[in-house]
Structure 1
Amino acid sequence: MGKTITMETRKINSITVVYDPGEQETVDIISDTVERSLLRIHESWGLGNPHDCWIYVMTSWQEFFFQSAPWLWRILLAITFPFWYSRARRTWPYSAAWTLRVGGRVAIGIKPPRLLEVSDKSIGVLMFIEEKDVKIKLSHLTCHELTHACSVHLKLPAWLNEGIAAVTVDRLLEKQTIRSDSLELLRKFKTKEKPPTYQKLSRLDAEAIAYYGVLGYWFVKYLEDVRPGFLKQLFSSPPVSRIFDKVIAAELDIELDSLWSKVPGMIFAYFEMTEPGTGAE
């Protein structure tokens, strides 16, 4: 019989961290990052702290899903298991962290360093500047997922959700974390259509997932450059005003039907001009 492990908890601001006692070092890094991340998120996007938010040091996707859910939701997860387990199993190898909304709870799962080291990096190498410092990696993940947690009520499209999270990480770490040459994906990727939902995104190949990830990052950076404060104001607007693609297209004076065919080239041209060396060699 396996030994039963009693999980420990730590409260940081409004966040509860749940962990195996053996993951103390990981929790210390996460704890050190939470307050600073929440401040950056509020400053950048005007978003408040998430309600009923739990962070788990995640060593198994099955345990994360069922441990993080309130009791009644565990029953629902068990009943619907055949409908969602394949996506979770498919994305687990290359995922470093997850954020889920389960009822009124927001659950964040972050892999400890030993699992990050053996994760599939085929997507990450296309997107991220290599980072060897484990503390910075964990700070990156904590900030990224907390941004998702703080914005979960907005129901952002995947590209915008990932974009603001990646930009927030840059601001927290005070350095760029996305590869500059990832702009080349925006130029050469053939499909120029509306970015997919998370469910559809998980079924794409590595290059396509990377493309939509960096598209969100560079588009948010572009909007912050040419329309500073626009996204922050948009996030605080009434829900009826938050038809995101429509509002953004109007702000940029682009026809909605043409938005996603024009945006990649527009972003590439802008950053190639403003940041020499970020485009094609």
Structure 2
Amino acid sequence: MELRELRYFVALAEELHFGKAAERLGISQPPLSRAIARLERRLGVTLLERTSRKVTLTGPGAVLLSEARTILGAVAAAERRTQQAAQRRPRLVLAVKSGTGGELLAELLDAYREEPGAATVDLLLCEGRQPQESVKNGEADVALLHLPFDSTVGLDTETLSTEGQVAVLPASHSLAGRSRVRAAEVAALAELPMARWPGPDGSYPEGPGAEVQNLTQLFQMVALGRTTVILPESAGTDLRRDLVAVPVLDAPPVTTVIGWPSQSRLRAVADLVRVATCL
């Protein structure tokens, strides 16, 4: 398999539309169609089912999509790290979800900055996607992840902290004055259905709650009385005045971990992880 074929396949598997995939790749549709057909003949399997109305992934196609993302990520990471090796001061890319990390992230960056020979840390703020995917595809060297929400498959991790969860409600809501609530009470609020986040493929699960991609959108929709959400305590700090965070008594704890590729041998990553675990 050629890298070009894998790039073409990933674009089509993610877009599930030949026209959109071709536009994303900057090519016309015929070369894309020929490349996918050639790849299927070489592998001896059907990767995508095509009809006049839609394109869908087959089982083998889903396997190749996962493998191809890993391969292309490794190539991108190798290119970036090779280029960085020529720089006088190394650089690290740390992926975090927008609006998360809070004081822990600030403390980590401050402490690491004091390390002898510390690398320059560039933050990659992820919206509508998961930080672990940025590490796997080579965009980032390390990520702050939150269990049980984020996957750590293929990554090494160290635990940094554990916290409870809160329900974010309009300040005018009847539950806003409570010292604590239960998860079932929040889930039963017909007037405030739970917010919906996009999955890895960008699609949203079915439901009445508002579709959101980041905390700014989320808090705006909660303030308007359209949705609610249960989040880690740290994400509920410094809320706008028209919102209230109420502890959820029976919500499972959220554990923040720092994760990096299992095959990583970067000294800067090891130093950042060491500093993080000493906070």
- Superposition TM-score, scaled by structure 1 size: 0.23
Q: Which structure is richer in relative contact order (CA contacts within 8 A, separation 6 or more)?
A: 2
- Structure 1 or 2: more helix by fraction: 1
Greater fraction of residues in strand:
2
